[in-house]
Amino acid sequence: MEVNYNEISRTYDQVRKENRDLLEIFIEEVGITDRTRILDFGCGTGNYADALQRLTHAQVYGVEPSDGMREKAIAKNPNITFVNGNHENIPLEDNYFDFVYMTDVIHHIPDVSMMFSEIRRVLKRGGSLCIVTESHDQIDNRFFVKYFPSTATVDKRRYPDIDEIISKATEQSLEHIKNVVKGEGAVGPVTSQFVELVRNKGYSMFHLIPDDEYNEGLKQLETDVLSGNLICRHSGETLVWFRKK
């Protein structure tokens, strides 16, 4: 089964928001100012690009292949340039950006090596790249795997593990700087907003598991959240940082 991103775009903003803590990490790590040129690769409906531009007044661009997602993004902020592109073709200048980032995107890319080649092309020398993703261990440790077991199998097939990401990037002459694990082990209640995200299949993996598993898992999740006793330990995410030499 394939994921229809134009269809997902209709409800995406109802269930997926930018993570402000992540934006603060970008701002501090890169030293973003109003003169910084930034590319959000695989920007979706532009939540991160919009928030980052409003916070910093930087020169922000977004690349997104889905027409539906891109139309939503364009409507949010006239100060951002959103273009139709993908891992094979980023239709922007060579050596242009100070910072490129991608949030929960790399598992959608069919040729990661080609993607890194294109990103390196548009990065300035000394420019930074941040890949926000999850390791295979983090995928296995997601609290909701007990409700939807095959999501771990599906996503470990889609997500390159951290070592593979580093290997593919360094093959394209991007220097690996560091990995930062964020949010791992944080404990908190499962919110009704998360349940709504699952109901709307706000994560693409829910489109890729059997319907009976999805329906049974959702029913049990709703029951447990309504009981008020469901506490989760977050598996976290990994930020993989590179620099163009």
Interval 112-134: pLDDT, tens: 999 999 999 999 999 999 999 99
pLDDT higher for 239 or 1?
239
Q: pLDDT band for 60, please (50, 70, 90 cuts).
A: very high
- pLDDT averaged over the chain? 92
5 pLDDT higher than 50: no
Q: pLDDT band for 15, please (50, 70, 90 cuts).
A: very low
Stretch 193-220: mean pLDDT, rounded?
Answer: 93
Residue 177: inside a domain, yes or no?
Answer: yes
Residue 230: inside a domain, yes or no?
Answer: no
Residue 212: inside a domain, yes or no?
Answer: no
Stretch 166-188: mean pLDDT, rounded?
Answer: 96
Residue 148: inside a domain, yes or no?
Answer: no
Stretch 29-56: mean pLDDT, rounded?
Answer: 96
Contact indicator for 74, 53 with CB cutoff of 8 Å: no
Structural domain total, the chain: 1
Contact indicator for 212, 105 with CB cutoff of 8 Å: no
pLDDT confidence of residue 90: 98
Stretch 18-40: mean pLDDT, rounded?
Answer: 95
Residue 214: inside a domain, yes or no?
Answer: no
pLDDT confidence of residue 177: 98
Identify the CATH number of the domain in which residue 21 sits: 3.40.50.150
pLDDT confidence of residue 17: 66
CA-atom Rg of the chain in angstroms:
18
pLDDT confidence of residue 227: 86
pLDDT tens digit sequence for 134-157: 999 999 999 999 999 999 999 999
Contact indicator for 233, 145 with CB cutoff of 8 Å: no
pLDDT tens digit sequence for 218-243: 999 999 998 877 888 999 999 999 99
pLDDT confidence of residue 11: 45
Residue 209: inside a domain, yes or no?
Answer: no
| Domain that residue 11 falls in | 5-135+157-184+237-244
Residue 164: inside a domain, yes or no?
Answer: yes
Q: pLDDT band for 181, please (50, 70, 90 cuts).
A: very high
Q: pLDDT band for 66, please (50, 70, 90 cuts).
A: very high
* Beta strands at 231-233 and 97-103: parallel, antiparallel or unpaired: unpaired
Contact indicator for 151, 202 with CB cutoff of 8 Å: no
Q: Could you identify the residue written with the tokens 């902020």?
A: 77
CA distances from 115 to 6, 57, 152 (A): 22, 27, 24
Stretch 172-187: mean pLDDT, rounded?
Answer: 96
Residue 56: inside a domain, yes or no?
Answer: yes
